[in-house]
């Protein structure tokens, strides 16, 4: 079940999520890309470019205007204060697909990464796991990460998806 509608916001989608950003851009007529250096990918896919560092003190005031129908968001743990302002850019009944690191397999950590969720939007979480190996862990490739995000974007009924064989410590 896909419900992407007309406009999308992607935050942090130029690196490991670049393929997911491209996939989403091919399915919505209007996409805004927020990242430190979004210009090259935004030009490639015909998206609106919003260069910004989310760690900047004025980042909240520089977010693009919404409302958006769907958002794909990767923000680091030290920027969790940006989670709610980004979610607030979605229209009621919008969809928020958050990409979290491996430790978010623990529901307590997941709540810490999203401390003030909106109740009027559909929230989905893509948890980045890893593949156990004889010598430790093999982290996911960019393709695996994007494929996980695309799987959630393509299926609004899934709440959580762990990408990789295992997640956690």
Q: What is the reported pLDDT for 2?
A: 53
Compute the distance between CA of residue 97 and CA of residue 62 in angstroms, rounded to an integer: 21
Give the pLDDT confidence of 113-135 residue by residue, as tens digits: 777 789 999 999 999 999 999 99
Indicate the domain borders of the chain. 7-163
Give the pLDDT confidence of 53-104 residue by residue, as tens digits: 988 889 989 999 999 999 999 988 778 889 999 999 999 999 999 998 877 6
Tell me the pTM.
0.92
Compute the distance between CA of residue 164 and CA of residue 9 in angstroms, rounded to an integer: 25
Residue 156 phi, psi dihedral angles, 5° rounding = -65, -10
Contacts of 81 (CB under 8 A, 6+ apart): none
For residue 123, give the nearest of 159, 157, 154 by alpha carbon: 159
Number of other residues whose CB lies within 10 A of the CB of residue 55: 12
Q: What is the mean pLDDT of residues 144-149?
A: 97
Pick the CATH number of 7-163 from 3.10.620.30, 3.90.79.10, 3.40.50.720, 2.40.160.40: 3.40.50.720
């Amino acid at each position: 079940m896909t419900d992407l509608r007309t406009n999308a916001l992607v935050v942090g989608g130029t690196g490991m999520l670049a393929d997911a950003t491209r996939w989403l851009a091919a399915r919505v007529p209007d996409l805004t890309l927020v990242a430190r250096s979004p210009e090259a990918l935004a030009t490639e896919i015909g998206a609106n470019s919003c260069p910004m560092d989310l760690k900047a003190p004025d980042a909240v005031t520089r977010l693009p205007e919404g409302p958006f129908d769907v958002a794909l968001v990767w923000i680091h743990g030290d920027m969790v204060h940006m989670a709610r302002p980004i979610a607030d850019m979605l229209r009621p009944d919008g969809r928020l697909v958050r990409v979290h690191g491996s430790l978010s397999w623990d529901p307590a950590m997941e709540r810490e990464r999203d401390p003030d969720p909106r109740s009027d939007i559909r929230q989905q979480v893509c948890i980045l796991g890893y593949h156990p190996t004889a010598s430790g862990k093999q982290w996911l490739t960019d393709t695996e990460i994007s494929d996980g995000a695309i799987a959630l974007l393509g299926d609004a009924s899934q709440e959580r998806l762990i990408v990789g064989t295992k997640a956690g410590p």
